Amino acid sequence: MDQLHAQQVLILDYGSQYTQLIARRVRELGVYCQIKPGQWAAESISDLAPQAIILSGGPDSVLADGSPRIPAIVFELGVPVLGICYGMQAMMQALGGEVIREGTPEYGPAQVNVLEGGGLLDGVSKELDVWMSHGDQVSKLADGFVTLAANEGTPHAAVGDIKRQYYGIQFHPEVTHTKEGGQILSHFLFDIAKLSKNWQTDRIIEQQIELIRKKVGSDRVLVALSGGVDSAVVAALLYQAIGDQLTCLFVDTGLLRYQEREQVESVFKEHFGMDLHVEDAGDAFFNALAGVNDPEEKRRIIGHEFIRVFDDAVKHLGADIPWLAQGTIYPDVIESAAESGHSEVIKSHHNVGGLPDDMPFELVEPIRELFKDEVRKMGLALGLPKSLIQRHPFPGPGLAVRSLGEVTRDYAAILAKADHCFLSVLQEYDWYDKVSQAFAVFMPVKAVGVKGDARHYGYVIALRAVTTIDFMTADWAPLPVELLQEASHRIIAEVPEVARVVYDITSKPPGTIEWE
């Protein structure tokens, strides 16, 4: 096993919406971990040989028939185990304790009293602010366990078998509302499981560079830049590993953000000096989209056109590129509980801009073990500009799904300018990083306004800004009135085709984040 992965934590996923957050917290503390389904096979678990195991929460009740159980192997490996919420209850049940459904479910912020540190809660506040989310609770401890924390409604809020190093917590240490959650996880990893920190950006970069060199030798590698973070980081990493063996391809669909192509050229070609090919395909995309109003049809056409343009461009780059580097990241590859049937999470349905499986390439996926925040850290360490690294996500079909109905070159240009005004104002007011996604939407209808002394009919621009953890649900952002005022002034002043600016106050659900 390589040095970086020589020590690792296994997180078994019972379907909690927070499972990925647990993994991110563990990694932020400097320890490598992997998420696997809660019912992962015993041989796989023992082959992985984790130094510690964390059992996630989940939506099931251990009292229900058919609810997921903890594989027996977990308690045969002799490693520390931390059960969180459902994970704690299922562990108690497996080891001979009891779980009941009693009283009112506890959701949201709560306080628990720490009775004993037990290694896990050493040094935390005696009255601990925590985040609870459970209906069932432990009513009788398994042999060997003591209660470490309690409150009126939850008499066993944290428990531990100090000898065997099994711990359970009813609350969620991974969410920020549990203020000392980081310290609790840190106690588990370093004081109880005796792990050391080995998961750090510079070491991950060094290791990946070595792996890439070993894998591709002196071959050429192609990377398709999208303007987004993941492909940019892959390109920067590849360039450091193999320099001129790397060729970058960027398709300008005409549906990109304001001056996005120029930014890509300035960073990759001028700053890094990479071999960058830009395919100017705007005309092809707008021609293919002419007269098309239906959003799904627009998506289909763009996906199809993208593959066609990409294929053509690859042919021109020469036949001797055997490798394609892709920006697949960890959330795309987690063998989630959803696939083993225990999660309520709905997977994203979007894959426009993806490439078909039958391309004549072998794949290099150097960031497939990383979460988005780790990818961003890596990008900064590799010298990519912060403005690119901190960018909000942008959909594959680009401005086409933000210009309602038929999208034309003119509409896309108006939208790109209005969007740029809005995002610039968000930056000025320090709100860009506080929202998860923000953009303008173009409506091809005309409203009346007054310019000078004359009536003026112009288009309508809607502004959308949302906060979200996972993009599955989202809240509209309560932007300051002055910011909205400034955004409206700037758009009307700088984009003469626009007469009205409105702000979208629809959450998801019932709305979606995009308008189409």
**Catalytic residue ranges:** 85, 172, 174
3-state secondary structure of 104: strand
Asked if 513 is part of the footprint of ligand XMP (rule: CB under 6 A), the reply reads: yes
**Per-residue tokens: 19:** 């499972």
203 binds ligand XMP (CB under 6 A): no
Based on the shown chain and the rule CB under 6 A, indicate whether residue 456 belongs to the binding site for ligand XMP.
Answer: no
Smallest distance, ligand XMP to C-beta of residue 232, A: 16
Q: Round to the nearest angstrom and report the end-to-end CA distance of the chain.
A: 47
Residue length of the chain: 516
Q: How many residues belong to the site for ligand XMP (CB under 6 A)?
A: 15
Q: Is 372 in the site for ligand XMP (CB under 6 A)?
A: no
Cα–Cα nearest to 157, from 106, 208, 196: 106
Between CA 66 and CA 46 the distance in angstroms is 24
- Structure tokens that stand for 62 in this block: 């251990």
**227 binds ligand XMP, rule: CB under 6 A:** no
Stretch of 31-39, 45-53, 134-142, 349-357 contacting ligand XMP, by CB under 6 A: 349-357
Nearer to ligand XMP, 184 or 223 (CB): 223
Say how far apart CA 240 and CA 221 lie, in whole Å.
Answer: 13
Touching ligand XMP, residues 104-143 (CB under 6 A)? none
The reply on whether position 397 binds ligand XMP by CB under 6 A is yes
Question: Between residues 300 and 446, which has the closer beta carbon with respect to ligand XMP?
Answer: 300
- To ligand XMP, the closest distance from the beta carbon of 353 in angstroms equals 6
Task: Kindly tell me which of 286 and 515 has the beta carbon lying closer to ligand XMP.
Answer: 515
Per-residue burial over 330-368, b if 16 or more Cβ lie within 10 Å, else e, is beeebebbbebebbebeeeeeebbebeeeeebeebebbe
Give me the half-sphere count of Cα atoms (radius 13 Å) on the Cβ side of residue 264: 26
If the CB atoms of residues 185 and 232 are measured against ligand XMP, the closer one turns out to be 232
- Nearest-approach distance from CB 371 to ligand XMP, in angstroms: 16
Angle at 18 between CA 426 and CA 79, to 5 degrees: 135
Which residues have CB under 8 Å from 32's CB, separation 6+? 4, 5, 7, 8, 9, 198, 199
470 scored as a contact of ligand XMP (CB under 6 A): no
The answer to the question of residue 514 lying near ligand XMP (CB under 6 A) is yes
Identify the residue among 393, 410, 480, 494 touching ligand XMP (CB under 6 A): 393
Report the C-alpha gap between 470 and 327 in whole angstroms. Answer: 19
Question: Quick one: which of 38, 68, 353, 379 contacts ligand XMP (CB under 6 A)?
Answer: 353
Provide the minimum distance between the beta carbon of 433 and ligand XMP in the complex, in angstroms, as a whole number: 16
For 56, the 3-state DSSP assignment is coil
Contact status: 435 vs ligand XMP (CB under 6 A): no
Binding status of residue 512 toward ligand XMP by CB under 6 A: yes
Cis before residue 444, ω within 30 degrees of 0? Answer: no
| DSSP state letters, 136-199 | EEEEEPPTT-EEEEE-SS-TTSEEEETTTTEEEESS-TTSTTSTTHHHHHHIIIIIIS------
User: Which of the stretches 56-64, 172-180, 183-191, 388-396 binds ligand XMP when contact is defined by CB under 6 A?
Assistant: 388-396
- Least Å distance, CB 396 to ligand XMP, is 3
Distance CA 175, CA 455 (A): 53
Residue 206 or 514 having the CB closest to ligand XMP: 514
Please say which residue, 429 or 471, places its beta carbon nearer to ligand XMP. 471
Tokens representing residue 308 in the block: 């066609």
**Between 282 and 311, how does the x/- string for binding to ligand XMP read (CB under 6 A)?**
-----------------x------------
Contact 141, 156 (CB under 8 A): yes
Please identify, using beta-carbon distances, which residue of 87 and 397 lies nearer to ligand XMP.
Answer: 397
Q: Which of 92, 352, 382, 491 binds ligand XMP (CB under 6 A)?
A: 352
Residue 395 is a binding residue for ligand XMP (CB under 6 A): yes
Stretch of residues binding ligand XMP (CB under 6 A), selected from 104-112, 151-159, 273-281, 507-515: 507-515
CB closer to ligand XMP, 166 vs 439: 439
Smallest distance from ligand XMP to CB 116, Å: 45
Within a 10 A sphere around the Cβ of 475, how many other Cβ atoms? 15
List contacts with ligand XMP (CB under 6 A). Answer: 299, 350, 352-353, 393, 395-397, 401, 437, 471, 508, 512-514
